[in-house]
Chains A and B, each alone.
Chain A
Amino acid sequence: MSVTRSSSTLRWHNIRRIATQQPRETIFGWGIYSVTAVSVGIAALLIFNSVRFVGESSLNIVAQPFLLPLQTALTLAILFVAVEATLSIARPREQGSLQILFFAPIDETILIGGNFLAGILVYIFFVLLILPTLFLLSWATNFVIPAQLIWAIIPTLFVVGVAVAFGLFVSASARSARSAVLILVAVILILLGLQSAYSALLSIPPTSRFYDALLFIRTVLANLQLILLWISPFHMLNVILTAALNDDWLVLLRQTGIAVAATAVWLFTAVRMLRHRGVLP
């Protein structure tokens, strides 16, 4: 009994060691601050445009205030942690340091678990960096940040979990750090492309009330959105933030559940893949 307890304590201790190492490196590097500045810059631009519109037409009715600026900032945060997760195994394996790390009492589950927690911690740090600046933007322009949106940041942790777990899976399965990043970029482009194409088609009116030349593409993309609910963290982020803003707690809970399930699947496959691929370059 005590042996089991000490074993699990040791495993948890190792997970924590790995989980704190990665965020420490991130905090003491310029990367996260640059990406945060870019995300706040984009949010500022979106708010600037909204407020400028008021100046020009004296009135602006915003259906979902602050949703787009926050969503953009959090999307960049997800991209950042996904890239970090993608490099977290592939790079040390390529450099040979992963092999050395495995001389310590560390196995695949500990490594994946530690890196997963590291990704979540980096995301939390990212959010802590952008939140005060977003409040400042809101104060300066007298723009509205609905309280529901702030609370909705908590369930986005589960969405980030999906992105980090997928990044770790790619990292565990890729031959090199470069190919891991290329795979991630390709997947992100496909996911964001499908989501953007669907949104773009929504703004294109049908050819006529009785005939729509784009009907087939619309139907295909609409059905793909259902798949994206399960695999795309960007789509999950959109659903969660919109549901929180609409006080649609049922949708929010359902999407959170989906995110947890998807995270578990990716983490499990990442561990299996790491066992399969091994630690050698």
Chain B
Amino acid sequence: MSFASSLWQHARWGLLLLLLLLAAPPLVTAQETDRQDTFVYGINAGIPDAVIGTFAPPAVDTIYLMSTETSILSPRITSVYYWPITNDYRASWNVLNEVVEGDLEIMRGLQTIETIKQTTYTIHFHVGRGSANKPTLYIGADAEKANAQFQADQLAYRNAALAYEEARLAWLDAAREAQSLGVAPDDLPKAPVEPAPLNTYSTGLNSGFPLKLEPGDYRIRTKTADGTIVPKSERRLVVFEPRRTAVGYEVIPEQRWTFPEESNDPEGAILGAENTVVYLKPFVTREYPAISYTRLQNPQDASVAQAGEWTWVAGEPIEDSVLELVSGNRVITQIPLQAYTVKQTPGGEYGYEILEYNASTPDLTPRIDFVGYRLPFTSDNRNFSIQLRSPDDTLLLGSNRVMRVAGRNSPILLGFISLLPLLAGAAILGWRQQQTSRIKTDNAA
């Protein structure tokens, strides 16, 4: 075999390999997700201070909702795929989002207790937190009216923003011209005022079943106009309510203000060290069944399996009450809510100081870092409790907390107390011994 033919032989194999390599990229693609167009319930679950948007694919057998708020279930056909990285099903609403016409049948046992017609709804989300900024749910004619108003507001804002932009450009030109003519800065034309931002977001008009049911265990299904049950629409519905509602406190120790702790249980106690200070921030807290609350937020969640466990959930802050210190059934002092500024002080005890906010001293207290009730633990008052009184002079239920200044913690003293039952035993057995000896002596005599 000549050198040239050997070279050609090798080149042929090389060419073949090169062709294979060039053909390879179209063969190597990202893993395809196995999509399926299927029935799901879109869920807008109402909770006291928010609306949680989730969905229930066919793999989810049970939907959890709260009895205290109106929620919306939207029957939809959508494209669902399994996402192995997070081990859950996801919906491609942008690929397919088809409304399923029909009514929702709610059953308890074998009996249908209610049939709900599908209606239009819209949810308006407001910027910020707190009861004033709770999302608003509009249903039926109200939804259409609210949506029309929102669109009008949106249009008005857009026009105002456009007008502002035009006015701002005109003002810039005028200011530049005036500047070039040597007009004094005070005599320059006034800048236009920016329109107030639109702090509301809307889901737009949608259709779904509004639900507000008594706590309990139900079954639901979607029934079309011809009486057939939509496949995969039958689910279990658990409606729950808080077991207890109380006032929780965020407790900020002065020594570590960035690490607050929470006191939710009304029967709980707050123990503090002598001569320390804590700041309390009250909020509404509700105790829910852990499994129900977790699965309301994510119906596919597997992190809670046990029924019978309870969880406290912090809600709206309380900012209109007065904190009372109670000792021996007597209110000894009332503490108002106060804003505080944390000022960094290098070399200080904690590296910072917590100062009462004062708007008239912007150099010393330039901003509000937190708002709360200041509560010192002193040796003068070692046992007391706190409670919140609302502006209408009523005590807030569940706001009471036992407060204690921690006492002596001598292991010798505690050990001695532990031995007291043995001492009592020794006394009783000694007395018994004495009695027995006396009887023996008497008998002998």
By the criterion CB–CB under 8 Å, are B408 and A58 in contact?
no
Distance of A204 from chain B, by nearest CB (Å)? 11
Contact residues in A for B272 (Cβ distance below 8 Å) = 54, 58-60
A222 and B306 within 8 A (CB): yes
A140 touches B253 (CB 8 A): no
- Interface members, chain B 414-445 (any A CB < 8 Å): 414-415, 417-422, 424-426, 428-429, 432
CB-based contact B273/A142 at 8 Å:
no
B309 & A202 in contact (Cβ 8 Å cutoff): yes
Residue of A nearest to B420 (CB): A133
Contact (Cβ within 8 A) A51 B407 = yes
Question: A63, B268: Cβ atoms under 8 Å?
Answer: yes
- Partner of A51 from the list B253, B265, B409 (CB cut-off 8 Å) is B409
Q: How many residues of chain B get a CB closer than 8 Å to chain A's CBs? A: 58
Interface residues of B in 249-281 (CB under 8 A from A): 251, 253, 255-256, 261-265, 267-273, 276, 278
Task: Give Cα distance in the complex from A28 to B426, angstroms.
Answer: 10
Contact present for A211 and B302 (CB under 8 Å): yes
Choice from A34, A136, A219 contacting B420 with Cβ under 8 Å: A136
**Separation of A130 and B421 alpha carbons in the complex (Å):** 7
A183 sits at the interface (CB 8 A): no
A141→B87 contact, CB < 8 A: no
Which of A56-91 touch B at CB < 8 Å? 57-65
Residues of chain B with a CB closer than 8 A to A148's CB = 267
Task: Tell me whether B409 and A55 are in contact (CB under 8 A).
Answer: yes
Q: Which residues of B contact A27 (CB under 8 A)?
A: 428
CA A211 – CA B298 in complex, angstroms? 13
What is the minimal beta-carbon distance from A24 to any residue of chain B, in angstroms?
10
Task: Give min CB distance, A62 to chain B, whole Å.
Answer: 5
A59 B305 Cβ-Cβ under 8 A:
no
B355 at the interface (CB under 8 A from A): no
Q: Is B33 an interface residue (CB 8 A)?
A: no
Q: Are A61 and B306 in contact (CB under 8 A)?
A: no
Q: Give every chain A residue within 8 A of B235 (Cβ-Cβ).
A: none
Tell me which of A11-19, A42-50, A157-165 binds B.
A42-50
Given contacts A129-B424, A144-B269, contact A209 B404 (CB under 8 A): no
Given contacts A33-B421, A33-B422, A37-B422, contact A61 B87 (CB under 8 A): no
User: Contact check: which of B253, B298, B307, B417 meets A58 at CB < 8 Å?
Assistant: B253
> Which residues from chain B contact A136 at a C-beta distance below 8 Å?
417, 420
Chain A residues with Cβ below 8 Å from B268 are: 61-65
Bound complex: CA of A212 vs CA of B251, how far in Å?
33
Q: Are B261 and A48 in contact (CB under 8 A)?
A: no
Question: Are A30 and B302 touching (Cβ within 8 A)?
Answer: no
Cα(A86)–Cα(B407), bound, Å: 42
Interface size class of A (residues with CB under 8 A): 35 or more
Q: How far is the CA of A87 from the CA of B73 in the complex (A)?
A: 62
Q: CB-defined interface of B298-339 with A at 8 Å, one 1/0 digit per residue?
A: 101111011111000000000000000000000000000000
Q: Which listed residue, B256, B263, B402, touches A144 by the CB 8 Å rule?
A: B402
A246 contacts B244, C-beta separation under 8 Å: yes
Complex-state Cα separation, A105 to B404, whole angstroms: 58
- In the bound assembly, the distance between CA atoms of A141 and B417 in angstroms comes to 12
CB distance from A219 to the nearest CB of B (A): 5
The reply to whether the CB of B360 lies closer than 8 angstroms to some CB of chain A is: no
With a cutoff of 8 Å between Cβ atoms, the chain A residues found around residue B270 in the complex are 59-62
Contact of B429 among A28, A198, A205 (CB under 8 A): A28
B303 touches A55 (CB 8 A): no
Given A58-B272, A210-B88, A210-B300, answer yes or no on A247-B421 (Cβ-Cβ < 8 Å): no
> Which one, A45, A54, A140, A245, contacts B413 given CB within 8 A?
A140
| With A61-B262, A210-B301: A141-B407 Cβ-Cβ less than 8 Å | yes
Inter-chain contacts of A130 with B (CB < 8 A)? 421
B174 located at the interface, meaning its Cβ lies under 8 Å from any Cβ of chain A in the complex = no
Tell me which residues across on chain A come within 8 A of B411, comparing CB atoms. Answer: 48
Q: With A144-B269, A146-B267, A210-B301 in contact, is A55–B406 under 8 Å at CB?
A: yes
B278 lies within 8 A of A208 (CB): no
Interface residue? B86 (CB, 8 A): yes
Task: State A59–B278 Cα separation when bound (angstroms).
Answer: 9
Query: Which residues from 197 to 220 on chain B have a C-beta closer than 8 Å to any C-beta of chain A?
Result: none
The distance from the CB of B158 to the nearest CB of chain A, in whole angstroms, is 40
Select B269's contact among A34, A62, A205, A208, beta carbons within 8 Å: A62
16 more A-B contacts (CB under 8 A) besides A61-B251, A141-B409? A37-B419, A40-B420, A48-B409, A48-B411, A59-B251, A62-B270, A63-B265, A129-B424, A130-B421, A132-B420, A140-B413, A142-B382, A144-B402, A146-B267, A209-B298, A210-B301
Q: Which residues of B contact A (CB under 8 A)?
A: 86-88, 244, 251, 253, 255-256, 261-265, 267-273, 276, 278, 298, 300-303, 305-309, 382-383, 402, 404-411, 413-415, 417-422, 424-426, 428-429, 432
The 6 closest A-B pairs by CB, nearest first: A33-B425, A142-B407, A36-B421, A210-B87, A41-B418, A54-B406
List A residues at the B interface (Cβ < 8 Å): 27-28, 30, 32-34, 36-37, 40-41, 44-45, 47-48, 50-52, 54-55, 57-65, 129-130, 132-133, 136-137, 140-144, 146, 148, 198, 202, 205-206, 208-212, 215, 218-219, 222, 225, 245-247
Can you list 27 A-B pairs with a CB-CB distance of less than 8 A? A28-B432, A32-B425, A33-B421, A33-B422, A33-B425, A36-B422, A40-B417, A40-B420, A44-B418, A45-B414, A50-B271, A51-B406, A58-B272, A59-B251, A59-B271, A60-B406, A61-B269, A62-B268, A63-B268, A129-B421, A130-B421, A133-B418, A140-B407, A143-B271, A144-B402, A209-B302, A222-B306
